[in-house]
Amino acid sequence: MHLRFKKEWELPESAVTPESYYRKRREFLKTVGLGVAGWAFGGSSLFAATGGFPTKLNPNYPPGDLKVTPYEFITSYNNFYEFGLEKDEPKVNANKGWKSEPWTVEIAGEVRNPMKIDVNDLIAKVGGIEQRVYRHRCVEAWSMVVPWDGFPLAKLVALADPKAEAKFLRMTTFFDPKNVPGQRTDALDWPYVEGLRLDEANHELAFIATGIYGEPIPNQNGAPLRLVVPWKYGFKGVKSIVKFEFTTRQPRNTWNVMAPREYGFYANVNPTVAHPRWSQATERVIGAGFRAVRQDTLMFNGYEKQVAGLYAGLDLRKNY
């Protein structure tokens, strides 16, 4: 059974009046530079995302003081080794005939409700999508702020209905070497695998993205489903997921297999634990141009208040 306690920063449902929400939405649109486009859409929905699902900003995760990264940078500066090792390559190579629809997702392992399901049916089953503005911190010491559209991972967990033995969630990217150049090389151990502890997967911040800026998520960002765990380094955010498997043992995540000394299972953003080759104390802000902008990296990427409790008693230096 999964109990959900309200956090002190959460607003009760009743506090969200239509009018105040409307104002927030206008603010948000202005912030992200889509103000004009926003006028075209009435009511509570912004844009269509994957499969035509309407999305709206979840008022618990507004941009606030964050400077949202422009859309073109989020979608042109990508680490997606399936489509090339350079940042500019995924945008080109992921849009050369590789198809992210139709897309079937498998839910398997220690669950009462295993299934193979079309991605749009899955989104309908979890109740549609919403928008959240999250910080994104790469292990390479750069960061963005991304307005993701999608649904909480906890909803998928609830749908799968894990058995008591299920302790971890293992997520796997597609494997399609015929259409995907990177998977014909041995740069990584394909297919890409990531994992979370079940309590991490059930945390309210853990999110499955299906869109960015209200648009369906582009192939190079991990269409049609990608994991977003904003308190962890970006490589935990496994892209283009085909399988969610509930396991009793801790999954072996790809980067941990590749270089165990450099990448752990947890990969929590932590400015006090350096990567063996570089410091993690600061980060370059994507889109800041030539102004030498480096900002301090925050513990758990600024989500310490929300997630620190997950790791009480855990040695974060050892469990990097």
Partner 1 sequence: MPDSTSARITDAAPAAREVRGTSGPPVAGWLERIVRSKAVAVTALVLPGLWPAWPIVNQDPSVLADPGEYLLHHLGFVACVLLAVVLTFTPLRVLFPRWRAAVALNRHRRLVGVTVFVYAALHFVMYLIYEGGFGKLASDIGKPFILSGTVALGILFALTITSVDRAVRALGARRWKHLHRLVYLGAALAAYHQIDASKVFPLQVVWIFGPMLVLQGARIVKRFVRSDPAPPPRVPQIGSPKT
Note the residues at the interface with partner 1 (CB under 8 A).
72-73, 75-77, 81, 85, 87-88, 91, 140, 142, 187-188, 255, 258-259, 274, 276-279, 282, 284, 286-287, 289-290, 292, 294
| Whether 175 contacts 183, CB under 8 Å | yes
- Angstrom distance (rounded) from CA 231 to CA 266: 10
- Angstrom distance (rounded) from CA 268 to CA 234: 10
CB of 279 to partner 1, least distance (A): 6
CB of 319 to partner 1, least distance (A): 20
CB of 215 to partner 1, least distance (A): 16
Residue 110 or 283 having the CB closest to partner 1: 283
Residue 183 or 202 having the CB closest to partner 1: 183
Residue 104 or 185 having the CB closest to partner 1: 185
CB of 255 to partner 1, least distance (A): 8
Which residue blocks in the chain are alpha helix, DSSP H? 18-31, 35-39, 71-74, 89-93, 119-125, 153-160, 198-201, 254-258, 304-307
- Angstrom distance (rounded) from CA 48 to CA 58: 16
CB of 266 to partner 1, least distance (A): 18
Q: Other C-beta atoms within 10 Å of 101: how many?
A: 13
CB of 96 to partner 1, least distance (A): 16
- Angstrom distance (rounded) from CA 147 to CA 238: 17
Cα torsion 287, 67, 43, 149: sign? positive
Find the angle CA(235)-CA(227)-CA(37) to the nearest 5 degrees.
110
Q: How far is CA 1 from the centre of its chain?
A: 25
Residues near 264 by beta carbon (within 8 Å), at least 6 away in sequence: 256, 319, 320
Residue labelled with tokens 């801790």? 250
DSSP 73-85: HHTTS---GGG-S
Residue 60 or 95 having the CB closest to partner 1: 95
CB of 32 to partner 1, least distance (A): 16
Residue 125 or 284 having the CB closest to partner 1: 284
Residue 139 or 169 having the CB closest to partner 1: 139
Residue 142 or 174 having the CB closest to partner 1: 142
Nearest in space to 136 (alpha carbons), one of 255, 258, 269, 29:
269
Residue 96 or 305 having the CB closest to partner 1: 96
CB of 139 to partner 1, least distance (A): 8
CB of 185 to partner 1, least distance (A): 9
Question: Which parts of the chain are beta strand (E)?
Answer: 104-109, 115-118, 130-137, 142-152, 168-173, 193-197, 207-212, 215-216, 226-228, 241-247, 282-285, 294-296
